[in-house]
Amino acid sequence: MCSMSSSHRKKARTSELLPCPECGEVEVVRTGERCQLADGLKIKSLVHYKCRSCGARLFDDDAIHAIQAARASQSARSTG
Ligand SMILES: [Zn+2]
């Protein structure tokens, strides 16, 4: 039997804030600023979440995609 598969997926846009993994504080704000990651990758104006209490950075899907894109473009440039 054949049925039309309706797209079951909808884009879930959660505005729910996650608590900070470092300190548990929920005062996490969305911010866009220059970031340097642990591996030295620098990204100008990366939009991410930042804990107002301890300053820990949290990366959501959008931020992770931006990081991956930046990493890909930077590793393509350097031969290291
Ligand atoms: Zn925190």
In DSSP terms, 29 is beta-bridged to: 50
**Contact criterion met (CB below 8 Å) for 53 and 23:** yes
| Type of residue found at 10 | K
**Contact criterion met (CB below 8 Å) for 60 and 48:** yes
The predicted pLDDT at position 22 comes to: 93
Centroid of ligand 1 to alpha carbon of 20 (angstroms): 5
The one-digit pLDDT tens for each residue of the chain (80 residues) are: 665 655 555 555 555 667 898 999 988 999 999 999 888 999 999 999 999 999 999 899 999 999 999 999 887 765 55
**Contact criterion met (CB below 8 Å) for 31 and 48:** yes
**Domain-located, residue 7:** no
**Contact criterion met (CB below 8 Å) for 59 and 48:** yes
Domain of residue 52 covers: 28-77
Centroid of ligand 1 to alpha carbon of 3 (angstroms): 49
Q: Report every protein residue that has its C-beta within 5 angstroms of ion ligand 1.
A: 20, 22-23, 25, 51, 53-54, 56
Q: What total number of domains does the chain contain?
A: 1
| pTM of the predicted structure, to 2 decimals | 0.65
**Domain-located, residue 52:** yes
